[in-house]
Amino acid sequence: MLDDVDLLVCGAGPVGCVVAERAAAVLGWTVLVVDQRAHIAGNCFDSFHRTGVLIHNYGPHYFRTNDVGVLSYLSRFTEWIPAKYEVRSSVRGRLYPFPINLATLEQFYGTTLDPESGERLLRAARAAIPAPRNSEEFVLSRVGRELYEAFYLNYTLKQWGSHPRDLAPQVCGRIPVRLNRDCRYVDHRYQVMPRRGFTALFSKMLRHRKIRLLLDCPFREVRELVRPRRATVYTGPVDDYFGCSLGKLPYRSLKFEFVAHRAEYVQPCVQINYPNDFAYTRSVEIKHVTRQRHPETVVSYETPTATGEPFYPVPRPESSALYQRYRQLADEERARRNVYFCGRLAQYRYFNTDEAIKEALTCFQQIRQDCAPGRSPFASSSPTRAA
Ligand SMILES: Cc1cc2nc3c(=O)[nH]c(=O)nc-3n(C[C@H](O)[C@H](O)[C@H](O)COP(=O)(O)OP(=O)(O)OC[C@H]3O[C@@H](n4cnc5c(N)ncnc54)[C@H](O)[C@@H]3O)c2cc1C
């Protein structure tokens, strides 16, 4: 039995690294971090391909945020470079700016537009659906059938293995439609990349004499051996923690194929979507945002699958309902044994990286409050506030 650990952290992804760093640096706690993978940084992991090109191993991670607090916290561990996240969609053999903006509409309809005529065009194309109940209705009510079928329908089918009419409106609703010529993928105020990559950032975060790290170590191998004095932070899948006793939570997974080219660049921008062709959904040449100077390049092709590592929670009512039942167990575990469930797998919620970091900082504050002198770490009866 290992009993000199204050905090046990399952998962060396962004959430695990942040909570470990805060507990060691602010409270002086001894922290043990375990991860079943052979590396840190979770899905933000990046590494050097055999060509020497830096790649994002689990899909491109476009760091963006509006949260100055998160940005300044992360800035202790990295410098940043400005990033340009630009996506085009390949439709009928041509590349269109995506998300849809005025330039997309001009190219698609072969006309010249300003914001007013663009709005008129969309108004004429839109379906009259005042209260969309699903993603199909949502997109039809925003851009009409022709654009829906060209850009959204098949991409969503591939990505989720479900028809947009079976998915919540927010699934497609997150994608903006712009009546200007802004070709950026997202609208956030800060769009930056860690200068030396994400793995370097999280590695610096864990470099503390009070933090020990065990890789290739599934949680089940330590859960009975380590009795933390203060708390456990669990960032793995919530259903796994409870032995899937209520059933398995569904996830969408991805397969990645990396192809090297003897050329500095082969794509005009970082990401090309293929809504209507091929099994893969997108090709990504991450060099466009890492800005690495290298004579070769690597493009990744991303194919969605129903099985494999858990990546995206499935946005359906049945899965949310099942998660709520696990959440109740998690709340009880927190009250009984001071186990905090935090992160995208533990909360069964898709977070962008900045949101995951914010969750981790909030979780740390909660632990700190619960374990403040005079409060027994195991006396808390408030619900799981991993969120
Ligand atoms: C394909 C894809 C693309 C993305 N693109 C972006 C993007 O462009 N921009 C952005 O901001 N965010 C993006 N994200 C989101 C980002 O990856 C997450 O917000 C972030 O990784 C969440 O951090 P986390 O620590 O909660 O989870 P993770 O990064 O998943 O880390 C969890 C860690 O826990 C470990 N673990 C799990 N179970 C166990 C266990 N039983 N025992 C031991 N270890 C365990 C895992 O191995 C993993 O290392 C993307 C995510 C995916 C999947």
pLDDT tens digits, residue range 60-92? 999 999 999 999 999 999 999 999 999 999 999
Atom in ligand 1 nearest the alpha carbon of residue 343 = 26
Does residue 208 sit within a domain?
A: yes
Give 184's strand partners. Answer: 86
pLDDT band at 385 (very low <50, low <70, confident <90, very high): very low
Q: What is the pTM of this model?
A: 0.95
Ligand 1 atom index nearest CA of 254 = 1
Residues 36-43: what's their mean pLDDT?
98
Would you state the pLDDT for residue 48? 98
Determine the pLDDT at residue 377.
56
Ligand 1 atom nearest the C-alpha of 17 is: 25
CB of 43 sitting under 6 A from ligand 1: yes
| 182-199 pLDDT per residue, tens | 999 999 999 999 999 999
Please tell me if the CB atom of residue 49 comes closer than 6 angstroms to any atom of ligand 1: no
Q: Is residue 240 situated within a structural domain?
A: yes
Report pLDDT for 315.
83
- pLDDT value at residue 84: 93
Ligand 1 touching residue 254 (CB < 6 A)? yes
Q: What is 30-79 written as a DSSP string?
A: -EEEE-SSSSSSGGG-EEE-TTS-EEETTS----EES-HHHHHHHTTT--
Q: How far apart are CA 374 and CA 93, in angstroms?
A: 67
Task: For ligand 1, atom 50, name the residue with the nearest CA.
Answer: 61
Domain of 141, in residue numbers: 98-173
Q: Is residue 317 domain-shared with residue 244, that is, in the same domain?
A: yes
Q: What is the mean pLDDT of residues 29-51?
A: 98
Contact 297, 261 (CB under 8 A): yes
Q: Say yes or no: CB of residue 214 within 6 Å of ligand 1.
A: no
- pLDDT at position 376, please? 60
In whole numbers, what is the pLDDT of the chain averaged over residues? 95
Mutating to test ligand 1, I would choose from 64, 67, 353, 364 the residue with most ligand atoms within 8 A of its C-beta, which is: 353
Same domain, 318 and 218: yes
Angle at which helices 14-27 and 353-370 pack, to 10 degrees? 40
Average pLDDT over residues 273-301: 98
Q: CB of 304 closer than 6 A to ligand 1?
A: no
Cα 75 from Cα 78, distance rounded (Å): 5
Q: Verify that 200 and 349 share a domain, yes or no.
A: yes
pLDDT at residue 383 greater than cutoff 50? no
38 domain-assigned = yes
Q: Is the pLDDT of residue 207 over 70?
A: yes
Q: Is the pLDDT of residue 302 over 50?
A: yes
Element (H, E) at 334: helix 317-337
Q: What is the pLDDT of residue 381?
A: 39
Task: Looking at the structure, tell me whether residues 20 and 142 fall in a common domain.
Answer: no
User: Are 136 and 73 contained in the same domain?
Assistant: no
DSSP 219: G
Give the contacts of 45 (CB within 8 A, at least 6 positions apart): 37, 39, 56, 57, 58, 198, 199
On whether residue 131 sits in a domain, the answer given is yes
Per the domain annotation, does 86 fall within a domain? no
In a domain, 136, yes or no: yes
Q: How far is the CA of 170 from the centre of ligand 1 (A)?
A: 21
CA neighbours within 13 Å on the CB side: how many for 62? 19
Helix (H, G, I), strand (E, B) or coil at 322: helix
- Indicate if 12 and 155 belong to the same structural domain: no
Residue 378 has pLDDT above 70, yes or no: no
- Is residue 152 domain-shared with residue 13, that is, in the same domain? no
Answer whether residue 382 shows pLDDT above 90: no
pLDDT above 70 for 178: yes
Residue that terminates a domain, selected from 173, 206, 231: 173
Q: 65, 49, 68: which is closest to 257 by C-alpha?
A: 49
- Examine the domain organization and report whether 225 and 356 are in the same domain: yes
109 plus 229 within the same structural domain? no
Q: What is the mean pLDDT of residues 43-50?
A: 98
What is the C-alpha to C-alpha distance for residues 84 and 244, in angstroms, rounded to an integer? 41
Task: State how far the Cα of 53 lies from the Cα of 295, in Å rounded to an integer.
Answer: 9
Distance from C-alpha of 70 to C-alpha of 22, rounded to nearest angstrom: 13
Residues constituting the chain: 387
Q: What is the total count of domains within the chain?
A: 2
24-48 mean pLDDT: 98
pLDDT band at 174 (very low <50, low <70, confident <90, very high): confident
For the cut 90, the answer to whether the pLDDT of residue 135 exceeds it is: yes
User: Is residue 107 located within the same domain as residue 140?
Assistant: yes
- How much distance in Å is there from the Cα of 13 to the middle of ligand 1? 6
Q: Using alpha carbons only, what angle is made at residue 83 by residues 80 and 84, rounded to the nearest 5 degrees?
A: 175
Same domain, 332 and 360: yes
The distance in angstroms from the start CA to the end CA of the chain is: 31
Report the separation in Å between the CA atom of 24 and the middle of ligand 1, taken as the mean of its atom positions.
22
* CATH, residue 67: 3.40.50.720
Task: Verify that 330 and 237 share a domain, yes or no.
Answer: yes
In a domain, 300, yes or no: no
| Nearest of 344, 371, 317 to residue 7 by alpha carbon | 371
Ligand 1 centroid, distance to 40 Cα (angstroms): 10
On the question of pLDDT at 58 being above 80, the answer is: yes
What is the 100 CA–ligand 1 centroid distance (Å)? 28
